[in-house]
Amino acid sequence: MLRFLQKCKNTNHLKQTHLQILVNGLKDNDSLLHNLITVSSDLISVDYAFTVLQTSNSPDVIAYNTMIKCFIGRENNSTAYNALRAYKQMRSRAFLVSPNSFTFTFLLKTIEGLDVGRMIHGEVLKMGLDASSVFVGNTLLNFYSKSGNDGVDLASKVFDEMPERDTVSWNTMIAMYMDCQEVESAIKLFESMPKRSIVTWNSVITGLAKNGKMESARSVFDKMPEKNEVSWNCLISGYVKAGDLKNAENMFDEMPVKSVVTSTSIISGYAASGDLESARKMFNQMGIKRNVVTWNAMIAGYVNKSQFNEALSLFHFMLLDNKCKPDHITLISILSASSHLGSLENGKWISSYINKNKINLSTPLGNALIDMFTKCGDIENGKSIFNKMSNKCIITWTTMVSGLAVNGKCKEALNFFNKMCDEGIKPDDVMFIAVLSACNHGGMVKEGKSLFQKMVNFYGIKPKIEHYGCLIDLLARSGELHEAIRLIENMDLEANSVIWATMISACKLHGNGELFEYVSKKVLDKEGLNCGYLTFNYKFEFINWKVGRCFEV
């Protein structure tokens, strides 16, 4: 029966096997139950898996752990609640199953929010587990360290009180301090560490890079006793994120250190002279070569810098090099590049590559495909990907909305927006930029105004300058110039050059000279508002207009 279960490929197989298990009275068999939970969660849904667990009479701690583990990494917002429900159930009088270290490790990965975390921390203490294992302590550390600034003190407290610490504990603390810009604290820990691992060094490189200290990152990299691929990748992506493609390219080119023949002869030289330490170091360096992450970092660097053709050509080089296969992250970047270039030809090639290589259509990959198809004008294929995707996230919907809008299908874009809201997904600030600009493209003033209101009053999203920009543009271009001005003067943000440019051209469009003069003067008063170029333009247009008026008189 176990073998049948593990061979299940789809929902039907699984349901039949499940039925067989029930019919044969095997539903309380431990090992079958564990597997049934995992496979159900993979092939059907976590809810189904949960039902399976609940119908069992004697689930053991592994069954619960397996269940909680299935909740990890789900995008659904009720997973934390469900994981906790499973935990409560195992602790209830009817079952009274004792949790172990694994239970808390998994549980802490499904939840977020300091309050819930502290509650689980309390449970850990109650079970007396913290003293017994570094493992649980590290999981707690990791949880607090990723819970924002408020978690830092709690993490430090856990760290200080840990009866036993290992390298992982120290590494977690270092990464945490780096993430909250406490570089000094991180370095202090690094220097006082009893024993550093390669992960420690790599964390420090990444941390320094995140804090904009690339020179220090580089010198740490140079000082490392031993490096691996990750060390190189840390430094390369550090340069990439700093926008320093020159240095990133240099490191990328240097990366495959030496040919195997050269390395081997150096190693035997060291070994022959009795310097085994150097021989071992050389041996460890020998295996270093570009991996898929290296390629992805470099390709993403080009995409981030809008060097889309360079991204595509590096991708082709990667295929020619034929040493590592592109994965879904490579493809996402390349799809993004194709989308920006409007190159349907490239995009289609990637799409068929995905099908040919049976690459799993993850949510982000699906999103990237939708974006590419719609931005290249192929709405039908975009929609068909959208319909195929079982796990849509907010980005999926946003991509669809803006994809339709740039193709002039603004009404339909709004329909998608409404459909998303109907499905109970809460729109975010990015979605509102997309949907407001859809109104803008479609000249839908009434809808735009009401959406803006809804965003602020119903969803409690604080408008950013881009939201104001969309609405002001919409109002101004449709002739509601005074309302646009009123909005500019009442908003709690300083209007930027884009907004003023919008107003200037709208005033000209609608031939409103008085307002044009008023707006121009406003802009001229704010000498420091823009770069000189823009200010100069306004001045120039304003003078032109005045001259024109003089001649009219």
Partner DNA sequence: CTAGGGTTAG
| Residues engaged in binding DNA (CB under 7 A) | 105, 109, 134-135, 138-139, 142, 166-169, 171-172, 175, 197-200, 202-203, 206, 228-231, 233-234, 237, 240-241, 291-294, 296-297, 300, 303-304, 327-330, 332-333, 336, 339, 362-365, 367-368, 371, 375, 394-395, 398-399, 402, 429-431, 433-434, 437, 466, 469-470, 498
Backbone angle region of 377, left / alpha / beta, with phi > 0 → left and psi within -120 to 50 → alpha: left
DSSP state at residue 511: T
Residue among 82 and 142 whose Cβ is closer to DNA: 142
Q: Which is nearer to DNA, 229 or 517 (CB)?
A: 229
Shortest spacing between CB 481 and DNA, in angstroms:
20
DSSP structure class, residue 427: P
Alpha-carbon distance 115 to 524, whole Å? 51
Residue 136 and residue 130 in contact, taking contact as beta carbons nearer than 8 Å: yes
Give min distance, CB of 317 to DNA, in A. Answer: 16
Q: Is the Cβ–Cβ distance between 432 and 461 less than 8 Å?
A: yes
Residue closer to DNA by CB (options 32, 134) is 134
C-beta separation of 355 from 373 below 8 A: no
Q: In whole angstroms, what separates CA 25 from the centre of its chain?
A: 45
Which is closer to DNA, CB of 18 or CB of 165?
165
Amino acid at 539: K
Return the structure tokens found at 186: 């991180």
- Output 100 or 304, the one with its CB closest to DNA: 304
Task: Please list, in sequence order, all residues whose beta carbon lies within 8 angstroms of the beta carbon of residue 345, skipping any fewer than 6 positions away.
Answer: none
How much helix, strand and coil, in percent to the nearest 5, is found in the chain? 75, 0, 25
Residues 6+ apart with CB under 8 A from 280: none
Q: Which amino acid is at 57?
A: N
Residue (43 or 393) nearer to DNA, CB? 393
The pair of three-digit structure tokens given for residue 44, joined into one six-digit string: 């059907």
Structure tokens belonging to residue 224 = 């490392």
Least gap, CB of 287 to DNA (angstroms): 12
Contacts of 260 (CB under 8 A, 6+ apart): 286
- Kindly tell me which of 112 and 327 has the beta carbon lying closer to DNA: 327
Query: Which of 468/538 has CB closer to DNA?
Result: 468
Q: How far is the CB of 294 from DNA (least distance, A)?
A: 6
Quick check: 140 and 157 in contact, CB under 8 A? no
DSSP structural state of residue 289: -
> CB of 503: closest distance to DNA in angstroms?
15
How many CB atoms are closer than 10 A to CB 312?
A: 20
- Give the shortest CB-372-to-DNA separation in angstroms: 9
Q: Kindly state the smallest distance separating residue 470's Cβ from DNA, in Å.
A: 7
**Whats the size of the chain, residue-wise?**
553
Using the minimum distance from each CB to DNA, give the nearer residue, 127 or 389: 389
Which 3 state secondary structure label does DSSP give 461? coil
Give the integer Cα–Cα distance in Å for 386 and 366. Answer: 7
Report the nearest approach of DNA to the CB of residue 325 (Å).
10
Q: Which is nearer to DNA, 48 or 190 (CB)?
A: 190
Q: Which 8-state DSSP code applies to residue 122?
A: H
Closest contact distance (angstroms) between CB of 359 and DNA is: 11
Residue closer to DNA (CB basis): 8 or 111: 111
Instruction: Determine the residue type at 537.
Output: N
Q: Are 303 and 337 in contact (CB under 8 A)?
A: yes
Q: Smaller CB distance to DNA: residue 28 or 321?
A: 321
CB of 201 to DNA, least distance (A): 8
Q: Which two tokens stand for residue 195?
A: 């024993």
Shortest Å distance, C-beta 330 to DNA: 6
DSSP state string for 303-361? HHTT-HHHHHHHHHHHHHH-SS---HHHHHHHHHHHHHHT-HHHHHHHHHHHHHTT---
Shortest distance, position 398 Cβ to DNA, whole Å: 3
CA dist 311 and 304 (Å) reads 10
Least distance to DNA, CB of residue 464, Å: 7
Tell whether the torsion through CA atoms of 87, 91, 96 and 100 is positive or negative: positive
Taking the least distance from each CB to DNA, the nearer of 443 and 548 is 443
